[in-house]
A and B are shown apart, each in its own frame.
Chain A
Amino acid sequence: MVDESILSIQGLSKNYGSIKAVDALDLEIKKGQVFGLLGPNGSGKTTTLSIVLGLIKPQNGHFKWFGKPVTAATLRRIGSILESPIFYPYLSATDNLKIIADIKRVSYDSIDEKLAMTGLLERKNHHFKTYSLGMKQRLAIAAALLGNPEVLILDEPTNGLDPQGIAEIRGLIIDIAKEGKTIIIASHLLDEVQKVCSDVAVLQNGKCLYSGKVDFMTGDGLLLEVMADKPELLIAALENCQWATISSREKDHFLVQLQKDNSASDLNRYLIDQQVVLNHLTTKHKTLESHFLALLKNKA
């Protein structure tokens, strides 16, 4: 049951004129994953989500939710926020959620519980338009949680929030993930994906550059920045090395990814054996960012 497919996308394409918003995209999201769709603005994240939510029609390819084509009934099993929080400004939080409960065909009983969970219970009778951005975002999450959906889709959930708001929302997402729900998060913030997600797909220009575990992408091994007097020798030496790979290059700076059990001194020793002398060696902070940028650079 762990490998149960939640969303399966095959060869999905959507063009806007000559711009390929989504370009032959394949994705596989399994039950229980916290899946990050990572990419810069305009990389096709929102378009992809709009397609799988039945809002826009793809030119090519297909997708399946829970192994079946999408219907309104399927969407009622999914809680989703796309772009900004969308509610009737002149209605209170409660009334807005009642409309959504009616659409999802669930009772009104859980509304207060969701409002409490997102810290909005005291403001539940206030009009949506009087809410701060953080409250609007939290209400959107409360709305997405109505009817206990099996899947949550969150598009840029911390966009425009202050640091405290960001921390609150992330805490909320992590709590929800602990309940075992499948969560799909689109974000251009690497550190968000790193903090929250178990799996990630990196998108650029509508194409998937990388798809896999976040751990694997950040790597358990060290990331080193090195410079050598003779870069070409360094490249040759590392090409023959089993446990170190060049993940990116910026002029004469090389980012080298080591495997789990190897240290910086291992690399240094190996290179000296290979007659390569380093003039610079630093341990880089392991972040998704370096990998992400490396991916974008390599494939661009």
Chain B
Amino acid sequence: MRYIYRITTRKLFKSRTFWIMLALYGFSLSTLIFGVEAFIRNVTINAGNNSPIPIPEISVYTFPDIWQNLSYLTGFLKLFPALILIIFVTAEYSYKTNRQHIMNGMSRESYFFSQLVFLVGMALFSTLLLVFLTLFLGFQHTSDISLSLVFSKSYFSLAYFMELLTFLSIAFFTAIIIRRSGLAIITFLLLYSVIEPISRFYLPEMLAQSMPFKRIGNLIDVPNTSLMKLFGVSFRTNIDTFDLLFVIFYAVFFLFLSYLLVKKRDL
């Protein structure tokens, strides 16, 4: 198995494109996370001027709510890792290196596994970045720190990991079935932002609520910011088990389909 990690990391880490895309992602994520407080404060100040009651000032960055806040926020950028994944998975088809690997004696199972390593690696990288930023900002903005407080809602980062993993599994499946990068990216974007949302209108409620991207989006609900408290809106502050089961099911489902394609298809 070690040789599969070596192959996968050599392919990626020696690619300048990979590092540039990763850096762009890290930069965008950090900007979003560091900037959100200022953005919200700006909005609430303006709202506060016209508000008859004072708006409570709650930082987005305090433990334990920061876990949900930042996990939710990071979810906005999940297209980034998905695009990186699609680009590198389809590149194997356009370079035909996938064929060469099989000819050279890599089993199709190992080939699938090497791509899976990449997929899980991307999800892990994104989650660890989130955890790091959460801990960094959380410790800076929380005055009373106790261990139980710090980690009490850390399961949100695990939920984010699942959210991204499933999202990437669908992207992976799209890449494997379409094989051409441009077409795969367009198809994935259409599925995500047009086809599924529109089809939900025509489907029965139960089914519409269970579509893959819908469930993925539901996993981490909108955090209750100070602004929302003002309007008396309240969202879920926990992870719904049903959502989680669906998301896990979808990840397994799309990965299994991808596996079958890699295993069976002529190259």
Whether a CB of chain A sits under 8 angstroms from the CB of B232 is: no
Are A56 and B267 in touch, CB under 8 angstroms? Answer: yes
Residues from chain B with Cβ under 8 Å of A77 in the complex: 105
The 5 A-B pairs with the shortest beta carbon distances in the complex, nearest first, are: A76-B105, A72-B107, A75-B105, A56-B266, A86-B100
Whether a CB of chain A sits under 8 angstroms from the CB of B95 is: yes
B100 and chain A: residue at smallest CB distance: A86
29 contacts between A and B (CB under 8 A): A53-B102, A53-B103, A54-B102, A54-B103, A55-B266, A71-B107, A72-B105, A72-B107, A73-B105, A74-B105, A75-B104, A76-B105, A77-B105, A80-B104, A82-B100, A86-B100, A87-B95, A87-B100, A90-B16, A90-B17, A91-B14, A98-B6, A102-B3, A102-B7, A103-B7, A103-B101, A103-B104, A104-B104, A105-B3
Whether a CB of chain B sits under 8 angstroms from the CB of A154 is: no
Distance from B45 Cβ to chain A, minimum over Cβ atoms (Å): 49
Distance from B121 Cβ to chain A, minimum over Cβ atoms (Å): 17
Whether a CB of chain B sits under 8 angstroms from the CB of A216 is: no
B18 and chain A: residue at smallest CB distance: A90
Set A57, A86, A100: member contacting B99, Cβ < 8 A: A86
Interface residues in chain B, defined as those with a beta carbon under 8 Å from any beta carbon in chain A: 3, 6-7, 10-11, 14-17, 95-97, 99-107, 110, 266-267
**Cα distance A115–B249 when bound, in Å?**
48
A74 and chain B: residue at smallest CB distance: B105
Residues from chain B with Cβ under 8 Å of A117 in the complex: none
Interface residues in chain A, defined as those with a beta carbon under 8 Å from any beta carbon in chain B: 50, 53-57, 71-78, 80, 82, 86-91, 95, 98-100, 102-105, 143
**Cα distance A100–B95 when bound, in Å?**
15
**Cα distance A99–B12 when bound, in Å?**
12
**Cα distance A88–B6 when bound, in Å?**
15
**Cα distance A80–B100 when bound, in Å?**
8
**Cα distance A75–B15 when bound, in Å?**
28
Are A88 and B97 in touch, CB under 8 angstroms? Answer: yes
A92 and chain B: residue at smallest CB distance: B14
With A72-B106, A76-B105, A98-B10 as known contacts, state yes or no: A87 contacts B3, CB within 8 Å.
no
Are A75 and B7 in touch, CB under 8 angstroms? Answer: no
**Cα distance A77–B107 when bound, in Å?**
13
Are B96 and A86 in touch, CB under 8 angstroms? Answer: yes
With A57-B266, A95-B14 as known contacts, state yes or no: A76 contacts B104, CB within 8 Å.
yes
Tell me which of B15, B16, B95, B103 has the highest count of chain A C-beta atoms within 10 A of its own C-beta: B103
Residues from chain B with Cβ under 8 Å of A56 in the complex: 266-267
A128 and chain B: residue at smallest CB distance: B95
Tell me which of B96, B104, B267 has the highest count of chain A C-beta atoms within 10 A of its own C-beta: B104
Distance from A6 Cβ to chain B, minimum over Cβ atoms (Å): 16
**Cα distance A72–B101 when bound, in Å?**
10
Are A99 and B102 in touch, CB under 8 angstroms? Answer: no
Residues from chain A with Cβ under 8 Å of B6 in the complex: 98, 102
A82 and chain B: residue at smallest CB distance: B103
Are B10 and A99 in touch, CB under 8 angstroms? Answer: yes
**Contacts beyond the supplied A55-B102, A80-B103, A103-B104: 4 A-B pairs with Cβ under 8 Å:** A72-B106, A75-B102, A103-B3, A143-B104
**Cα distance A54–B100 when bound, in Å?**
11
Residues from chain B with Cβ under 8 Å of A76 in the complex: 104-105
Are A88 and B102 in touch, CB under 8 angstroms? Answer: no
Are A89 and B95 in touch, CB under 8 angstroms? Answer: yes
**Cα distance A57–B108 when bound, in Å?**
13
Residues from chain B with Cβ under 8 Å of A87 in the complex: 95, 97, 100
**Cα distance A103–B110 when bound, in Å?**
10
**Cα distance A108–B6 when bound, in Å?**
12
**Cα distance A209–B106 when bound, in Å?**
34
**Cα distance A55–B108 when bound, in Å?**
10
**Cα distance A95–B7 when bound, in Å?**
10
Residues from chain B with Cβ under 8 Å of A95 in the complex: 10, 14
Residues from chain B with Cβ under 8 Å of A73 in the complex: 105
Are A99 and B7 in touch, CB under 8 angstroms? Answer: yes
Distance from A52 Cβ to chain B, minimum over Cβ atoms (Å): 10
Residues from chain B with Cβ under 8 Å of A75 in the complex: 102-105
Residues from chain B with Cβ under 8 Å of A104 in the complex: 104-105
Distance from A89 Cβ to chain B, minimum over Cβ atoms (Å): 7
Residues from chain A with Cβ under 8 Å of B97 in the complex: 86-88
**Cα distance A294–B254 when bound, in Å?**
54
Residues from chain B with Cβ under 8 Å of A80 in the complex: 103-104
With A56-B266, A86-B99 as known contacts, state yes or no: A103 contacts B14, CB within 8 Å.
no
Distance from B266 Cβ to chain A, minimum over Cβ atoms (Å): 4
Are B11 and A88 in touch, CB under 8 angstroms? Answer: yes
A76 and chain B: residue at smallest CB distance: B105
**Cα distance A149–B101 when bound, in Å?**
15
Residues from chain A with Cβ under 8 Å of B101 in the complex: 103
Are A103 and B105 in touch, CB under 8 angstroms? Answer: yes
Residues from chain A with Cβ under 8 Å of B107 in the complex: 71-72
Are A55 and B103 in touch, CB under 8 angstroms? Answer: yes
A84 and chain B: residue at smallest CB distance: B96
**Cα distance A80–B6 when bound, in Å?**
22
Distance from A49 Cβ to chain B, minimum over Cβ atoms (Å): 9
Are A72 and B110 in touch, CB under 8 angstroms? Answer: yes
Residues from chain B with Cβ under 8 Å of A98 in the complex: 6, 10
